[in-house]
Amino acid sequence: MNKEIILPKLTLKELINNAVDSFSEYPSVSFVEGKPLTYSKLGSEIERIADLLATMGLQKGDKVALYSHNMPNWVIAFFAVVSKGMIIVPVLPDFSAEEIKNVLDHSESKVLFVSERLLPRIAEDANLLNVIRLDDLTVIRGPIPVTTEKSADVDVHEDDVAAIIYTSGTTGRSKGVMLTHKNITFVAAGSFHVTSINHEDVFLSFLPLSHTYENSIGMLYPVMYGASIYYLEKPPTAAALLPALAKIRPTMMLSVPLIMEKIFKVQVQGKFTKNHFSRMIYKTPLFRKIIHRIAGKKLYQTFGGRLKFFGIGGAKLDARVERFLKEARMPYAIGYGLTETAPLLAGAAPNQTKLQSTGYAIRGVELKIHEPDKRGVGEIWAKGPNVMVGYYKNPEATAEVLTQDGWFRTGDFGKFDSSKRLFIKGRQKNVIIGAGGENIYPEDIESIINNSHYVLESLVVEEDGYLVAKILLDIEHIEKQYVHLKTIIEEKKDQYHEWLEHLKKDINNTLNKNSQVRKVEVMDKPFEKTASQKIKRFLYSKSPGKKK
């Protein structure tokens, strides 16, 4: 039976020190094709880099930025900073040169860890004391310390700021979320009550470590319990992921809905809806469940055959995909949270999942629905040890989301069922007000549109008072199964527009009266996305009007 670890203080310093002492000879972090560092070696490397930073003159409270794709040295740099009371500023690897400059300037970071791949995005005139290449942890800009003396021990408190995390790096929009040691460590410690682990567990990590989801649950939690973590050296394409799964055979993984939705469309829906007969069979609940169970067994083996926790978070999971996971008996788990809450607010372990619910509030966190409507839907408010202290140098934005009595306004609409399970309806800022004053949740419409064989992904927006569905066609699927349709799309414009009208009609037949789409617009390139693979809606929305 797995035993819970109780830290004397909820600080990242206590977390890493306890892990190094308790699991010294066990494997800690590694590339998939590399040799794992033991926890003892991890601890000595953390100390070495912490001493290097101290030799550069850095002290408690100084900011250090970390801009890189995942690698074992990311973990070393992170703990070297926070264990000495300095503040880590993790930067998402998809940030542009301009965005990273804005983050460095706004955060007043003194030193930057950066991977070789992302180094070209760092301006030569960046206001930094030193730049350290993360790949080999060597100083490549600024004074190179001749000697590295042992740094003094630093007293780190639970309420000290440990990290400033930027959800956007664009000028005028920079909001750095300030998370304390207690905020972050509370979530890592509390994850045990969702799914317990021990030093024998193996994590395969491919989501960005600079995102709180992967950072708290995919890094800090396994380190706390002495588990091992493996990182991909390449982007998580199928060509890189499949061999890694076969080699590592993980027991624990975190993912975002988009990855599982792609697997479902290609491996399940695509194979069993090729012709009229297979579609009829698939529509029959009994046969569908049998098909899903068979497909699930194959998928489980593809994931290495010993997976016990497949966490899905970052965005809403499509209802059909979740039904497949449940009927396939995949050990999927659902979580909900925000960067501002480090991030976990609610979760459901594999044995607790209920279709379209994000589970129960995690232990120690209060959730309530503020001003619910007659259906029980309202904004989700949260209170707990994981709620941020505020936005860095932005008291106005902080006051907008934190009430005087400590409640955090999430900006998400949701409701509870009779068992206090939470159901997310959509983002408050995305809600479209219908002609009759009703709330229209575009995420619900998009979920239905994405079930079309022809659609890869979609975005529903309001334009000139009407609902418009922007869709990205699944050209690969069309090429394989509908050669004539590909010809129509490319050569016969009249027939193409007629086909689009049919597609719009099919979509509207599945939607209620208030959610009818007036126009379908085909995108010529994929939607731009966030680190958690959510579409950046603000890039595609016009000024809001009122749906007619």
Q: What pLDDT, in 10s, does the model give residues 370-390?
A: 999 999 999 999 999 999 999
Which pLDDT band, with edges at 50, 70 and 90, does 545 fall under? very low
pLDDT at position 481 is 59
User: DSSP 3-state assignment of 492?
Assistant: coil
Which pLDDT band, with edges at 50, 70 and 90, does 493 fall under? low
50 & 188 share domain = yes
352 & 457 share domain = no
The CB density around residue 345, as the number of other CB atoms within 10 Å, is 28
Domain that holds residue 491: 431-539
**CATH number for 479:** 3.30.300.30
23 & 75 share domain = yes
Task: Outline where 71-111 has alpha helix (H).
Answer: 72-82, 97-107
174 & 291 share domain = no
Number of domains in the chain: 3
In this prediction the pTM is 0.88
Q: Looking at residues 114-128, what average pLDDT do you find?
A: 94
**pLDDT tens-digit map of 512-533:** 888 899 999 999 999 988 877 7
72 & 170 share domain = yes
138 & 271 share domain = no
Residue 127 lies in a domain: yes
Residue 350 lies in a domain: yes
Residue 1 lies in a domain: no
The CB density around residue 193, as the number of other CB atoms within 10 Å, is 13
Instruction: Report d(CA 130, CA 64) in Å as an integer.
Output: 10
Residue 95 lies in a domain: yes
134 & 260 share domain = no
**CATH number for 330:** 3.40.50.12780
Q: What Å distances lie between residue 315 and 100, 213, 460, 534, CA to CA? A: 24, 11, 16, 6
Relative to beta strand 29-31, strand 87-91 is unpaired
- Give Cα 141 distance to the centre of its chain: 32
Residue 391 lies in a domain: no
User: DSSP 3-state assignment of 198?
Assistant: coil
**pLDDT tens-digit map of 238-257:** 889 999 999 999 999 999 98
Residue where a domain stops, chosen among 428, 460, 486: 428
Does residue 548 surpass a pLDDT of 70?
no
| DSSP structural state of residue 100 | H
**pLDDT tens-digit map of 316-345:** 888 889 999 999 999 999 999 999 999 999
Percent above pLDDT 70 for the chain = 93
Instruction: Report d(CA 321, CA 277) in Å as an integer.
Output: 22
